[in-house]
Amino acid sequence: MDVATLSPRSGPINSIRSIYTWFSSDPRHYQILFQITFLVYGYTLLNWDVSLMKLNVTMLTTMLVQGVWIHLKGLPWSGLKSALISGLSLCLMFQANSIWTLVLAASLAIVSKFVFRINGKHVFNPTNFGMVAAILITGDAWISPGQWGSEGLILFVVGITGLLVLLRVKRLETAFGFLITFLTLSFFRHVVYQGWPADFFFHQLNTGSLLLFSFFMITDPMATPSSQKVRLIWSIVTGLLAFLIATKLFVHSAPIWALFFMSMLVPVLDKYFPGNKFQWIK
């Protein structure tokens, strides 16, 4: 068989393999693709009432602020991937009346990674910090879980894609520790104790923002305990705190606030219960 006749065919195959090898080399590539898919779905099929300018401003701000820090500290430019994830997360879960509030949230999200650091890890999930800080500072912003509706498609897509990412960063127990705790307590309170219809519980389960939070925010490998066992306990306590905030303070975005407070414990837990520290591929 003539080798020369095979080389033209092997060229495209090798190119596809090279692209796949590069794409699968970093879990952030999966997350970026999935988040873009969710954003397109929400904007086109769910008809979100948000301007493209606000989305673009949010994304551009995260990338620019990250670029400035990369330049000042001489860091790898691959860090822009993390900034892109933060920007997409803000677009998916955060809303504000003013564009300047979006700029503030996006800027604080990125700045928090470099300012609040202990032993090479940032204390807060960047998106979580940016959202909470902007809400507290301006009073002009909010987290809107209702924008996703309660379609079963969201449950399926977010669940499956989230699992793929978690399997790559080995944070599966964190997502399910939180979800099982939060949803189990909610089920017993609303359905068993208060006698509400089971549809209420399944509506809560189908909320896109809750699933995005569970699979893509609380599992941030740079802001969760390094020890797997401690991480599981930490996620369960976070679920308990989110349940208390939701039921006692009637805050619909309770998981976001619970994570904000629980993040402050991570450096202490890492000090007394050390584990293998996660590092992104450069």
DSSP 138-178: HS-EEE-GGGGTT-HHHHHHHHHHHHHHHHHHT-HHHHHHH
Measured over the CA atoms of residue 22, residue 26, residue 31 and residue 36, the dihedral's sign is negative
**pLDDT tens profile 113-143:** 999 999 889 899 999 999 999 999 998 999 8
pTM over 0.85: yes
**What distances in angstroms separate CA 101 from CA 63, 66, 149, one per listed residue?**
16, 18, 25
End-to-end CA distance of the chain: 42
Of the candidate ranges 5-9, 108-112, 183-187, the one whose mean pLDDT is the lowest: 5-9
Q: Where are the domains of the chain?
A: 28-145, 152-272
**pLDDT tens profile 59-86:** 999 999 999 999 999 999 989 999 999 9
